[in-house]
Structure 1
Amino acid sequence: MKIVIDSKAINNDLSNFGGVKAQREKSFSQVLKDALESVNTYQNEYETALYRHLFMDDVDLHDVVIAGEKARLSLELTLQIRNKAMEAYQEIMRMQI
C-alpha cells in the first residue's frame, strides 16, 4: 500500500487557514478589553443573583454560589494576567541595551 501526499492540497488548506486566522485576530488591547467586560458581567450577574435570592427568593442558593465563583475566578484570572504583564514590563526595563 502506497500513501501519496498531495502537497498542493496541503498548501491550499494552509493558505486558507492563515487567511481565516488573520481575519479573526484581535489586538491585544481588544482581548484585554473583552476580558474586563466579561469580569464586569460576571460581577453584575453575581450581585443580581444575590439580591434576588435575599429579597425575592426566586433564585436558588447554589445558583448564587456558582455566580459568585465565576465572578471570583474571572477576577483572579484578571489579576494574574496583570501581574504577569507587570513582571514582563519590569524585566524589559531591567534589560541593558
Structure 2
Amino acid sequence: MKEITPKEVERLVNPNIIDVRETDEVAAGHIPGSVNIPLGLLEFRLHELDKTKEYIIVCRSGARSGRATEFLSSHGFHATNMVGGMMNWEGNVQ
C-alpha cells in the first residue's frame, strides 16, 4: 500500500483528497477541498471517482483510510493512504 505523510500532503498542489470518516467527524473539521465519502459508502460511490486521478485517502488515525486505500487499489484506482490521519494533520482545516 502506498503511503504519504501529512507534511507531504500539505506540500501538494490541489491534491484529490477523499475523507472516509463519518459525516459528523468531517463536520468537526476537515482538510479544505477534501471530498467526504464515508468508508461504509465507498463501494457504492465508486462511480464518482476517476481511475486516471491520484487520490489521497484520509481518516482520523489512518486505519480506515488504510482499508479504503487497499479497497480502491484492488479496484484499479490510484490511492495513497495518509499515515496518522487527521490526528497528525497540522495544516488548515475547515
Scaled by the length of structure 1, what TM-score is found?
A: 0.21
- Structure having the larger proportion of residues in helix: 1
- Higher relative CO (CA 8 A, sep ≥ 6), structure 1 or 2? 2
Kindly name which structure, 1 or 2, has the bigger radius of gyration based on alpha carbons: 1
- Structure having the larger proportion of residues in strand: 2
